[in-house]
């Protein structure tokens, strides 16, 4: 049985850990508000961009752009794996890495592009020490998104990869963030439901829109912007998902530390009472021996 001193040291250590987890919980709660605000600010641009792409898809029969054509046959699939830079967020990063491992097993030939330090380390363990990588907590997230988009676009156009797949977290709620695997390029026309858009636009009586110099030209310029903003939006969603997962993990850690402190306090009191009882018995025994 541990001594009173050992139990007291363990209680002190748990209380120190509890203070750290409580502080990290408060930091995550503050950061997730900013992350959600950034998502809300980017949402109008995403909605307008998707609406314009739907209009262009319905206005053109075909467009001569690499994103609308199949990739090079036999080339590996390009996978953008997006995780956080740090841990202490439960199974958040491991779930994303597991989704990437499953995709790699199912497709065989895969080339990774990692966004986030945890993703970089995981891909190195998978046997790809040299691969394009970016930190997700860069000063400018839009610049990071542009760099990633330009790199994967060049590789896709040059035939280095056959498609562009994004594995990133989907922010469902504060308690749920699940990995999502999306095929970004080649872009399929079904990605933009023109029939649904026309039904939604019918009651609004929208006027005719003219694109200059042509819808095909405008669409060819918007498709790269669509890829950039999709990656940027995923970076913002990864931030929000990570802080939500960290908030839940630190809250659970704080609660567990409180339970352990209570249990160890009871054990320490029992050990102290046992030590006092033992000393009293020794004193009584010594007194009886002196009387005899």
pLDDT in tens, 46-97: 878 878 777 777 777 666 778 888 888 889 999 999 999 998 898 999 999 9
pLDDT of residue 96: 94
CA gap 60, 255 in Å, rounded: 58
Domain membership of residue 144 (yes or no) is yes
Domain membership of residue 23 (yes or no) is no
pLDDT of residue 255: 92
Domain membership of residue 268 (yes or no) is no
Domain membership of residue 170 (yes or no) is yes
Domain membership of residue 185 (yes or no) is yes
Average pLDDT over residues 121-142: 88
| Residue 236 pLDDT > 60 | yes
Domain membership of residue 35 (yes or no) is no
| Residue 181 pLDDT > 70 | yes
Structure confidence by residue, pLDDT tens digits, 269-278 = 888 888 888 8
Domain membership of residue 86 (yes or no) is yes
Taking all residues of the chain, what is their mean pLDDT, rounded to a whole number?
84
Domain membership of residue 230 (yes or no) is yes
pLDDT of residue 212: 67
pLDDT of residue 194: 44
> How many angstroms separate the Cα of 193 from the Cα of each of 51, 70, 188, 238, 276?
10, 20, 10, 26, 78
Q: Is there a contact between 186 and 163 (Cβ–Cβ < 8 Å)? A: yes
Print the domain residue range for 85. Answer: 40-200+208-236
Structural domains counted in the chain: 1
| Domain of residue 58, CATH code | 3.40.1380.10
């Amino acid at each position: 049985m541990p001594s009173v001193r050992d139990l007291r040291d363990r209680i002190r250590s748990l209380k120190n850990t509890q203070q750290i987890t409580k502080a990290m919980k408060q930091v995550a709660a503050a950061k997730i508000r900013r992350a959600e605000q950034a998502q809300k600010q980017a949402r109008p641009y995403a909605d307008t961009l998707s609406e314009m792409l739907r209009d262009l898809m319905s206005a053109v029969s075909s467009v001569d752009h690499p994103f609308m054509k199949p990739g090079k046959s036999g080339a590996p699939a390009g996978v953008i794996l997006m995780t956080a830079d740090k841990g202490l967020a439960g199974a958040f990063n491991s779930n994303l890495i597991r989704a990437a491992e499953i995709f790699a097993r199912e497709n065989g030939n895969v080339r990774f592009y990692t966004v986030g330090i945890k993703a970089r380390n995981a891909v190195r363990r998978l046997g790809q020490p040299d691969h394009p990588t970016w930190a997700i907590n860069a000063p400018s997230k839009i610049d990071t998104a542009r760099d990633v988009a330009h790199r994967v676009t060049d590789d896709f156009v040059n035939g280095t990869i056959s498609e562009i797949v994004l594995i990133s977290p989907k922010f469902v709620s504060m308690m749920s963030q699940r990995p999502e695997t999306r095929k970004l390029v080649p872009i399929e026309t079904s990605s933009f439901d023109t029939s649904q858009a026309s039904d939604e636009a019918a009651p609004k009586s929208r006027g005719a829109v003219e694109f200059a110099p042509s819808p095909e030209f405008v669409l060819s310029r918007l498709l790269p912007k669509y890829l950039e903003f999709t990656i940027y939006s995923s970076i913002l969603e990864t931030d929000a998902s990570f802080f939500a997962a960290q908030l839940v993990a630190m809250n659970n850690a704080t609660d567990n530390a409180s339970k352990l402190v209570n249990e160890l306090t009871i054990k320490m009191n029992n050990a102290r009472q046992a030590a006092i009882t033992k000393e009293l018995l020794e004193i009584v025994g010594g007194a009886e021996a002196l009387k005899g």
